[in-house]
Amino acid sequence: MAADPDLDHEMLIRHLIEHVRCAECDSAYRAEDVYVIGREDDAWTLVAFCSVCGTESVVLAYLDEIDTTDAAPPDEEEVAAWRRFLAAFDGDLHDLLDR
């Protein structure tokens, strides 16, 4: 998505509910279940709650084009390490992002 200085949080939420689904159960998000919790320059942080399975997801939206040609998807070991870390994590989102 190209940067747009006139973009507001409602447009961003609409884009998310049209294009992103719950990672756990693949259900569509509802607009009332998505909240913008932060914005810094061209990066927005949103929280989406799945009304079907109750999964809470943090969504980072970058409004500038990002070169992902060198980015590799996480392998099974990285996913397992994150799963272990998050299962043992005893803090809130701010604690997690400040690390």
pLDDT reading at 54 higher than 70: yes
**What is the pLDDT at residue 32?**
92
If one counts the domains in the chain, the total is 1
List the domain range (segments joined by +) for residue 73.
9-97
| Burial zone of 51 (CB within 10 Å; 0-12 exposed, 13-18 middle, 19+ buried) | middle
**3 in any annotated domain:** no
**2 in any annotated domain:** no
**54 in any annotated domain:** yes
**4 in any annotated domain:** no
**75 in any annotated domain:** yes
CA distance 67 to 40: 19
The per-residue pLDDT for range 59-91, each reduced to its tens digit, is 888 776 555 566 677 888 888 888 888 888 887
**What is the pLDDT at residue 40?**
84
Q: Model-level pTM greater than 0.85?
A: no
CA distance 44 to 40: 6
